Chain A
Amino acid sequence: MNLLFKKIQPLLSTNEKNISKWAGYFGLGIGIFILLISLQTFINISKLLSENNERKSGYDFVSLSKNITNENMGKDNTFNEQDVDHLKNQTTIEDVSPLISNQFRVRATAGDVLPFSTDLFLESLSNNFLDTLPPSFSWQPGQQVVPIIFSSDFLEMYNVFAPAQGLPQLSPQTISLVNITLECSGPSGMQMYKGNIVALSDRINSILVPHTFMNYNNWFFTKDTSLHAARVFIKTKDANNPSLLKYLDKNDYHINKDKIRFGRIKSILQGVLSGMGILGLLVVVLALMLFAFYLQLMIARSKDNLRLLVTLGYSPNWLSKQVTKKWILVYGYIILLAVIVTQVFNYFFASLSISQKNGLPVLLHWSVLLLAFILFILSILMNYRLVKKELVEMKL
């Protein structure tokens, strides 16, 4: 049927001043915009946070220690093997590694370049928990050189105080050149080693040595092989998991809140953006309902004309399609406008310095465009079904 809808369009009562129609247009546009911007912002924030936090292969690594209070002060507040096994049995915890500290005295000097000497604490941790693991980070008994992984925070702290002490400031590259002499002593005597910083760690605030070095020297100096770890590191899918936090609180374990700060921000943002998304969805549903009322009104007003058109030989199916088609462009324009406004907002978001630093794309994420397309198809389908239902109910 090569028919011009134009010919019958005047027969469909469309009062151009109808407020519900314009309110519908506006509401639909706003609702879709809120939905799209929520999704895009969620994607942007997730990207920004994932680049800032220290997730390694999708896991959070956080350190635990026992809370020191006035009551338990002076008692043994270290983690023993039982504590570690108990932690390992938690479903929310993927893996556990105790930070084993030295049971012997360590004194470090840096020779002539850095004229200082200090008592040191050393710790060792399972290699699986290290964010930077150079191949040289290993030690065998008899080896003179001990590889060390140094906390980036410690280096930063050192650089703050070094000038006041007349010491040179060090870059992450030059620190590996510093020759450190480690003087280890205990009841069994004294051992001298050469320390060499092989990597810096953002994740672990400590001075790490290989596990083998720590075990060997703890045994050598104290002959005590039992576990006394002041801290343990846990590997978990989500450090913000409420059941994990509840378990830690119950056992009076202290978690480094700073390390899960991004996770907390993310979960709050996720909540806020989900709320925004739901609000957007509600507005879209309300706007579509308003449209539905408007369409019903239009069809009811045009009932006599539609009935006569069918009497003359117009197919009800064809009429439904034509009435629906009339709205495809309208929906298309509204959704396109919402996409453009979302794109403009995203452009400004991506222009912020923090976004630029993290290379946030200026263009909308493909899932936002897909969502807009799905909303377009849904709107048209809903319209078609509604018009057809109305026409069928009229029993033309």
Chain B
Amino acid sequence: MVISLDGVVPQYIDSKKIPASQVWGKKLEIKKGEHTHIVAPSGTGKSSIIHFIYGLRKDFDGEISYDKNNISKLSPDEFAEYRQQKISIVFQDLRLFENQTALQNIEIKRALAPYHTSEAILAMASRLGIADKLNQMCSSCSYGEKQRIAIIRAMMQPFDFLLLDEPYSHLDENNRKKAMELIYEECGKRGAAMVFADLKPLELLSGEKILLL
């Protein structure tokens, strides 16, 4: 699978900023297996590009395609199919069901297209240090714990692309490393591409493709 961006520009952006951007208004292709890091300070559109690619927002000019299919023409059910089988995501605002437990949140995603067994959830939670939080209501978890729940949830399905929107913002160095390792491992298993948006390039990511927004 290939995701193509052709002249994508948010409708709200100041046109003066476009020429300097390595993403806005450019022609880009993200292929399966590639790791792409989009780096930019706050408020410059990191979440926007992730949301544009995932099909959550349409307030942009230009064209985004999945395998040459313009996503503006996809039906809600076709989007659902891509989101179940091809593209997974960790949102910056996490988007968890607050009145469900951590485990229920993960299971809701796993039920769609189970890539892992339910035992794998416990193993992943143990690796990320939240095994004891699985049966706790999300509303009572800290932001860092919720971030790890959201990461595990994103790993439950098959995918060719993993979109990550500042997934480690509330994790300490140690937990960030553990989460990063898990994500790399899972992407590796699937030969999946990773699109990672963050405020600055992480040391862990040195040597990988970086695009400045």
- Measured CB to CB, the residues of A under 8 A from B are 1, 3-4, 7-8, 10-11, 305, 308-318, 396
**Which residues in B have their C-beta under 8 angstroms from that of A3?**
111-112
**Which residues in B have their C-beta under 8 angstroms from that of A396?**
76
Can you report 21 A-B residue pairs in the complex whose CB atoms are below 8 A from each other?
A1-B112, A3-B111, A3-B112, A7-B104, A7-B107, A7-B111, A10-B100, A11-B97, A11-B108, A305-B97, A308-B97, A312-B108, A312-B109, A313-B80, A313-B84, A313-B109, A315-B76, A315-B77, A316-B76, A318-B80, A396-B76
A84 to B83, CA, bound (A): 85
Nearest CB of A to B63, in Å: 21
A52 to B80, CA, bound (A): 66
A317 to B76, CA, bound (A): 8
Could you tell me if A313 and B112 are in contact, using CB atoms closer than 8 angstroms? yes
Nearest CB of A to B105, in Å: 10
Residue of B nearest to A396 (CB): B76
A43 to B157, CA, bound (A): 59
Q: B56 interface residue, CB < 8 Å from A? A: yes
The 8 Å CB contact of A312, one of B81, B83, B99, B100, is B83
The 8 Å CB contact of B80, one of A7, A11, A315, is A315
Q: B95 interface residue, CB < 8 Å from A? A: yes
**Which residues in A have their C-beta under 8 angstroms from that of B76?**
310, 315-317, 396
Q: Which of A11, A310, A314, A396 gathers the greatest number of chain B CB atoms within 10 Å?
A: A314
Nearest CB of A to B100, in Å: 7
**Which residues in B have their C-beta under 8 angstroms from that of A316?**
76-77, 80
- Quick one: CB contact mask for B58-89 with A, threshold 8 Å, 1 for yes? 00000000000000000011001111100000
18 other A-B residue contacts (CB within 8 Å) besides A314-B80, A316-B80:
A1-B112, A3-B111, A3-B112, A10-B99, A308-B97, A310-B76, A311-B56, A312-B83, A312-B108, A313-B80, A313-B82, A313-B113, A314-B112, A315-B77, A315-B81, A316-B77, A318-B77, A396-B76
A309 to B108, CA, bound (A): 8
Q: A11-B100, A316-B77, A316-B80 are in contact. Are A308 and B95 (CB under 8 A)?
A: yes
Q: Which of A10, A308, A311 gathers the greatest number of chain B CB atoms within 10 Å?
A: A311
**Which residues in B have their C-beta under 8 angstroms from that of A8?**
108
**Which residues in B have their C-beta under 8 angstroms from that of A318?**
77, 80
A111 to B19, CA, bound (A): 131
**Which residues in A have their C-beta under 8 angstroms from that of B56?**
311
**Which residues in B have their C-beta under 8 angstroms from that of A4?**
111
A318 to B157, CA, bound (A): 18
Q: Which of A3, A309, A315, A317 gathers the greatest number of chain B CB atoms within 10 Å?
A: A315
Within 8 A of A (CB), among B109-137: 109, 111-113
Residue of A nearest to B153 (CB): A312
**Which residues in B have their C-beta under 8 angstroms from that of A313?**
80, 82-84, 109, 112-113, 157
**Which residues in A have their C-beta under 8 angstroms from that of B83?**
311-313
**Which residues in B have their C-beta under 8 angstroms from that of A308?**
95, 97
**Which residues in B have their C-beta under 8 angstroms from that of A315?**
76-77, 80-81
Nearest CB of B to A384, in Å: 16
Residue of B nearest to A319 (CB): B80
A313 to B158, CA, bound (A): 12
Nearest CB of B to A309, in Å: 7
Nearest CB of A to B74, in Å: 12
Within 8 A of A (CB), among B133-156: none
Nearest CB of A to B83, in Å: 3
Nearest CB of B to A331, in Å: 26
A396 to B84, CA, bound (A): 16
**Which residues in A have their C-beta under 8 angstroms from that of B81?**
315
**Which residues in A have their C-beta under 8 angstroms from that of B82?**
313
**Which residues in A have their C-beta under 8 angstroms from that of B95?**
308, 311
**Which residues in A have their C-beta under 8 angstroms from that of B99?**
10
Nearest CB of B to A224, in Å: 92
Residue of B nearest to A305 (CB): B97
Nearest CB of B to A320, in Å: 11
Nearest CB of A to B107, in Å: 6
Nearest CB of A to B19, in Å: 33
